[in-house]
Amino acid sequence: MLKDREIRLLICDDHTIVREGLKRLLDEEEGVEVIGEAMDGRDAVAKALDLMPDIVLMDLSMPGLHGLEATRQVVKRLPKAKVLILSMHKNEAYVLQALQAGASGYILKDSASEEVVTAIRAASRGDSYLSPAISRVVIEDYLRLSSPDSGGAKSLYDTLTTREKEIFQLLAEGLKNQEIADRLHVSVKTVETHRAHIMEKLNLKNIAELVKYSIEIGIVQIDT
């Protein structure tokens, strides 16, 4: 539990207007300090490791690295940091995945500003927070699926390694092998090897099927 100092906060969202709005809101809140902003999932992980925030406000749908995977990496590498998902998605599957990734809460983007502050203060105390608009069945399903006796198998996507998930999203976003290699600072051969493993694990035959699958599981969004 945080005492006698400000809650240090990192805002992660690919929309500048959202980041600016949240910063203005939280700058007026006593006991909260916005120490940085990130514009995508990869940037979020890097900034978190550099700035060591107490709380990370994390959007789900971001380019380069999805918010869920960014959450997993932050929680794993910074166990003292708390991640709060701030998302437009009300789908229970998203909430369950966020909790399973280690998030301490899930707030809907159409929530009142006071709710965002409430969630931040709850996380700083070590508590969890879910927007009231999200059904109670989410918690019940999460507890059931998390039970050692549930026997539920992991989804195919969850069998991918952290690096494979990164490459999976970049492939789904249309990047070529060389572009991915340049972005991740690895060889093209390494990307090709990971790509082959991804296709095998997910039972996919080509990039078209990979893109379709990425949309189905919510890693890549279709603009409407």
CATH code, 81:
3.40.50.2300
Evaluate whether residue 151 is within a structural domain. no
Higher pLDDT, 222 or 168: 168
Evaluate whether residue 82 is within a structural domain. yes
Residue 205 sits in a domain whose CATH number is: 1.10.10.10
Evaluate whether residue 25 is within a structural domain. yes
pTM of the shown model:
0.68
pLDDT at residue number 179: 93
Same domain, 63 and 137: yes
Q: How far is CA 84 from CA 66, 93, 95, 152, 181, in A?
A: 14, 16, 11, 26, 31
Evaluate whether residue 221 is within a structural domain. no
Q: 158-205: per-residue pLDDT in tens?
A: 889 989 999 999 998 889 999 999 999 999 999 999 999 999 999 888
* Domain coverage including residue 83: 7-146
Same domain, 123 and 178: no
